Amino acid sequence: MKKKNEISIVRSSAAEYLTFLTATGQSDVNAVYADENVWLSQKMMGLLYNVESHTVTYHLQKAFKTGELDENSVTRIFRVTASDGKTYDTKHYNTMSNLEELIAELCPNGVEYTCEE
Protein backbone atom coordinates (compact mmCIF):
# COMPACT_ATOMS: atom_id res chain seq x y z
CA MET A 1 0.00 0.00 0.00
CA LYS A 2 1.29 3.46 -0.89
CA LYS A 3 2.21 5.85 1.86
CA LYS A 4 0.58 9.28 1.82
CA ASN A 5 3.81 11.13 1.07
CA GLU A 6 5.20 8.66 -1.48
CA ILE A 7 5.73 9.91 -5.01
CA SER A 8 5.18 7.53 -7.92
CA ILE A 9 7.30 7.78 -11.03
CA VAL A 10 6.11 6.63 -14.42
CA ARG A 11 8.47 3.87 -15.53
CA SER A 12 10.26 4.02 -18.86
CA SER A 13 12.96 2.04 -20.59
CA ALA A 14 15.18 5.14 -20.75
CA ALA A 15 15.86 5.28 -17.01
CA GLU A 16 16.20 3.13 -13.91
CA TYR A 17 14.61 3.89 -10.58
CA LEU A 18 15.99 3.77 -7.06
CA THR A 19 14.16 3.90 -3.76
CA PHE A 20 15.82 5.59 -0.81
CA LEU A 21 14.54 5.12 2.72
CA THR A 22 14.86 8.09 5.03
CA ALA A 23 16.85 7.70 8.25
CA THR A 24 13.60 7.51 10.22
CA GLY A 25 12.28 4.81 7.90
CA GLN A 26 8.99 6.70 7.65
CA SER A 27 9.28 7.77 4.01
CA ASP A 28 10.32 6.23 0.72
CA VAL A 29 11.88 8.53 -1.85
CA ASN A 30 11.92 7.45 -5.48
CA ALA A 31 14.89 8.69 -7.48
CA VAL A 32 15.52 8.49 -11.20
CA TYR A 33 18.82 7.03 -12.42
CA ALA A 34 19.48 8.16 -15.99
CA ASP A 35 22.59 9.06 -17.98
CA GLU A 36 24.82 7.86 -15.11
CA ASN A 37 23.25 10.39 -12.72
CA VAL A 38 20.75 10.30 -9.86
CA TRP A 39 17.92 12.81 -10.23
CA LEU A 40 15.58 14.05 -7.48
CA SER A 41 12.72 16.55 -7.48
CA GLN A 42 12.63 19.28 -4.83
CA LYS A 43 9.89 17.39 -3.02
CA MET A 44 11.93 14.19 -3.04
CA MET A 45 15.00 16.06 -1.72
CA GLY A 46 12.89 17.50 1.07
CA LEU A 47 11.58 14.06 2.05
CA LEU A 48 15.02 12.47 1.87
CA TYR A 49 16.70 15.12 4.00
CA ASN A 50 13.72 15.80 6.28
CA VAL A 51 13.32 19.46 5.34
CA GLU A 52 10.41 21.36 3.80
CA SER A 53 10.31 21.77 0.01
CA HIS A 54 10.53 25.56 0.38
CA THR A 55 13.90 25.12 2.14
CA VAL A 56 15.20 23.15 -0.83
CA THR A 57 13.78 25.80 -3.19
CA TYR A 58 15.52 28.58 -1.25
CA HIS A 59 18.93 26.91 -1.41
CA LEU A 60 18.58 25.97 -5.08
CA GLN A 61 17.56 29.50 -6.08
CA LYS A 62 20.48 30.91 -4.07
CA ALA A 63 22.93 28.52 -5.79
CA PHE A 64 21.58 29.43 -9.25
CA LYS A 65 21.69 33.17 -8.50
CA THR A 66 25.29 33.10 -7.24
CA GLY A 67 26.43 30.87 -10.09
CA GLU A 68 27.38 28.03 -7.74
CA LEU A 69 25.15 25.82 -9.91
CA ASP A 70 24.15 26.24 -13.56
CA GLU A 71 20.42 25.52 -13.71
CA ASN A 72 20.58 24.30 -17.32
CA SER A 73 23.32 21.81 -16.43
CA VAL A 74 21.74 20.30 -13.31
CA THR A 75 18.05 20.13 -14.22
CA ARG A 76 16.00 17.75 -16.34
CA ILE A 77 12.27 17.20 -16.78
CA PHE A 78 10.81 13.78 -15.96
CA ARG A 79 7.16 12.76 -16.05
CA VAL A 80 5.79 11.73 -12.65
CA THR A 81 2.43 10.46 -11.51
CA ALA A 82 1.08 12.43 -8.55
CA SER A 83 -1.21 11.16 -5.81
CA ASP A 84 -4.20 12.38 -7.86
CA GLY A 85 -3.28 9.85 -10.56
CA LYS A 86 -2.40 12.54 -13.11
CA THR A 87 0.96 12.67 -14.87
CA TYR A 88 3.00 15.87 -14.66
CA ASP A 89 6.27 17.10 -16.13
CA THR A 90 8.43 17.69 -13.05
CA LYS A 91 11.85 19.32 -12.80
CA HIS A 92 14.49 17.07 -11.26
CA TYR A 93 17.99 17.96 -10.14
CA ASN A 94 21.20 16.08 -10.83
CA THR A 95 22.48 15.03 -7.42
CA MET A 96 25.87 14.06 -8.82
CA SER A 97 26.81 17.71 -9.37
CA ASN A 98 27.68 20.33 -6.74
CA LEU A 99 24.34 19.59 -5.12
CA GLU A 100 26.23 17.59 -2.50
CA GLU A 101 27.58 20.85 -1.02
CA LEU A 102 24.11 22.36 -1.22
CA ILE A 103 22.63 19.40 0.62
CA ALA A 104 25.31 19.77 3.30
CA GLU A 105 23.86 23.25 3.91
CA LEU A 106 20.41 21.72 4.32
CA CYS A 107 21.63 19.02 6.69
CA PRO A 108 24.71 20.23 8.56
CA ASN A 109 24.57 17.27 10.95
CA GLY A 110 24.61 14.73 8.12
CA VAL A 111 21.95 12.32 6.95
CA GLU A 112 21.75 8.57 7.11
CA TYR A 113 19.89 6.67 4.41
CA THR A 114 19.85 3.30 2.78
CA CYS A 115 19.33 2.43 -0.86
CA GLU A 116 17.21 -0.54 -1.94
CA GLU A 117 17.46 -1.98 -5.43
For the chain, the average pLDDT equals 74
Please indicate, yes or no, whether the overall pTM of this predicted structure exceeds 0.75. Answer: no
Instruction: Please name every residue paired with 91 in a beta bridge, in sequence order, or none if there are none.
Output: 77
The pLDDT tens digits of the residues spanning 37-83 come to: 889 899 888 887 778 889 889 988 988 999 988 999 999 998 888 88
* Residue ranges of domains in the chain: 8-116
Q: Given this model, what pLDDT does residue 99 score?
A: 59
Q: In whole angstroms, give the CA distance from residue 37 to residue 94.
A: 6
Please compute, for residue 91, the number of CA atoms within 13 A of its CA located in the half-sphere on the CB side: 9
What are the residues whose beta carbons fall under 8 Å from the beta carbon of 107, sequence distance 6 or more? 49, 50, 51
